[in-house]
A and B are shown apart, each in its own frame.
Chain A
Amino acid sequence: MIQFHDYPLSGNCFKVRFLLEQLGLEYQSILVDFYPGYEHKSPRFLNINPLGQLPAIMDKGQAVRDAQAILVYLAAAYDKSGKWFPRDHQGEVYQWLAFADQLTGSISAARLHDAMFYRLDVSKARTEGIKLLRIIDEHLWFAEKDGHDWLLPLPHPTIADVACLPYIALAEEGGIDLAPFFSVSRWMERFMRLEKFKPMPGMMPLQMPKETP
């Protein structure tokens, strides 16, 4: 069974948990006390990921670390439908996975500063986060105009959406106002209405009426 080193307040862990559940995979969740315990820097965890970063999984005796890498790994290994990691859109998928990493470096950093008292240049992190939000908001506006609901021009979400969603949905915990990003707000709402979506702390979607388009 897949062992998943997980922390409930981590957006990067959310991505892995979401895909594991979408794929219906059995897994064992091993909780790591990230804050205030800093257990991800403990010798035990550094043995699993020398970078001291969450998430990480162990599958068939092999460790896979980094949220984006795990998304690719799980989709490639277990998604027979090929929907979550569409092979004929690989360039776009990798581009958005890299973009998600930049969200971690900016919006997530601002949130670590505000919520977990990390010392870093928070105004620089917010400015960078807003720059990224403008890019993805424009992309989604033009995607919607062409009749697409997701980051890729496909009728279903992919790991690109999974990778970008959580730190955007948590942006206000880092002091970044999401109100100016109309298209991003609609995209988040669509995502949160997906089957089997479970919010993590900090996301507060109420159960919406199902009739919604």
Chain B
Amino acid sequence: MTSYVVALEKDVRDYSIVRSMMGDKPLVIWRGASGAINVWLDRCPHRSVRLSAGRNMGGYLEGVYHGWQFDESGKVTLVPALQGRPSHDISATVYSTAVADGFVWASVEECLPTGSGGEPCYPVHIAAPVDQVRLHVDSSVDHLTPWGVDGTMVYPTGDPAQRRAELSAIRRRLEES
């Protein structure tokens, strides 16, 4: 099964939350107190509110709506409405994750990153499906992640200023065609 880049490692900061997409799956990405990066479906198992609207307290992620707490394994460790008891049978949807060459990778199955061409640079969103974008970029230099049904996030490597100009031109061509 395919693995995808979902964020730049340096952008996933302590006590903060990153939103991303992997195909049709919205993602919440957070770095816990252990230093490990967690990539989950951005949906609370309770009422489906985005987990990314909550807060990263280090040891746990807290949902914004009813204050459920999720530990780094995704388990629900505290439910305020149950007088603070855990609910161990409920869990966030957790994806297999790996960090390689400055990128955060994820997969719905086992995450197996592929090599990168160099330093990560400015990610570029293109409003065109990944199959079309692939025809215009060099896949050994740029990682492509489907973003929703008809969008693509390009995670390029190389010199940022130069790559930005190149990818902006590709984006214009694809979006205006």
Chain A positions near chain B (C-beta within 8 angstroms):
134, 138, 141-142, 145, 178-180, 182, 185-186, 189, 204, 206-209, 211-213
A213 x B13 contact (CB < 8 A): yes
Chain B 15-58 near chain A by CB (<8 Å), digits 1 or 0: 11011110000100000000000000000000000000111111
Of residues 140 through 155 on chain B, the ones whose CB sits less than 8 Å from some CB of chain A are 147, 151, 153
Chain B residues close to A by CB (< 8 Å): 7-8, 11, 13-16, 18-21, 26, 53-58, 62, 64, 122-123, 125, 147, 151, 153, 160-161, 164
Q: 20 A-B pairs, CB-CB below 8 angstroms?
A: A138-B122, A141-B160, A179-B20, A179-B21, A180-B147, A182-B8, A182-B18, A182-B123, A185-B18, A186-B11, A189-B16, A206-B55, A207-B55, A209-B15, A209-B55, A209-B58, A212-B14, A212-B15, A212-B16, A213-B15
Complex alpha-carbon distance, A134 and B125, angstroms: 9
Tell me whether B14 and A138 are in contact (CB under 8 A).
no
In the bound assembly, the distance between CA atoms of A207 and B18 in angstroms comes to 17
**B8, B15, B54, B125: which contacts A211 (Cβ < 8 A)?**
B15
Q: How many A-B residue pairs have CB under 8 A?
A: 55
Contacts of B161 in A (CB 8 A): 142
Q: Which 3 A-B pairs have the closest CB atoms?
A: A180-B125, A212-B15, A179-B19
Please name all residues of chain A whose beta carbon is closer than 8 Å to the beta carbon of B151 when the two chains form the complex: 180
A138-B164, A209-B15, A211-B15 are known; give 16 further A-B pairs, CB within 8 A.
A134-B125, A142-B122, A142-B160, A180-B125, A180-B147, A182-B123, A185-B19, A189-B16, A206-B54, A206-B64, A208-B15, A209-B56, A209-B57, A209-B58, A212-B15, A213-B13
Least Cβ distance of B145 to chain A in Å? 11
The residue that A180 contacts in the complex, of B15, B54, B57, B153, with Cβ under 8 A, is: B153
The CA-CA distance from A182 to B103 in the complex, in Å, is: 14
Q: Is the CB of B26 within 8 A of A204?
A: no
Q: Complex formed: what's the CA distance from A127 to B177 in Å? A: 16
Known contacts A138-B122, A142-B122, A204-B53: A182-B26 contact under CB 8 Å: no
Nearest residue (CB) in A for B55 is A206
B158 to chain A, nearest CB (A): 14
Residues of chain B with a CB closer than 8 A to A186's CB: 11, 13, 16
Please indicate which of the listed interface residues A145, A204, A207, A209 has the most CB atoms of chain B within 10 Å of its own CB. Answer: A209
CB-CB under 8 A from B13, the residues of chain A are 186, 212-213
Find chain B residues with CB under 8 A from A207 CB. 55
The residue that B14 contacts in the complex, of A178, A180, A206, A211, with Cβ under 8 A, is: A211
Residues in B neighbouring A178, C-beta threshold 8 A: 19
User: What separation, in Å, do the CA atoms of A212 and B56 have in the docked complex?
Assistant: 10
Q: Measured between C-beta atoms, what is the minimum distance from A87 to chain B in Å?
A: 29
| Bound-state Cα–Cα, A142 to B16, Å | 20
User: Is there contact, CB below 8 Å, between A182 and B15?
Assistant: no
**Residue numbers in A under 8 Å from B26 (CB-CB):** 179
Q: Once bound together, how far apart are the Cα atoms of A165 and B161, in whole Å?
A: 25
Residue of A nearest to B161 (CB): A142
Chain B: minimal CB distance from A180 (Å): 4
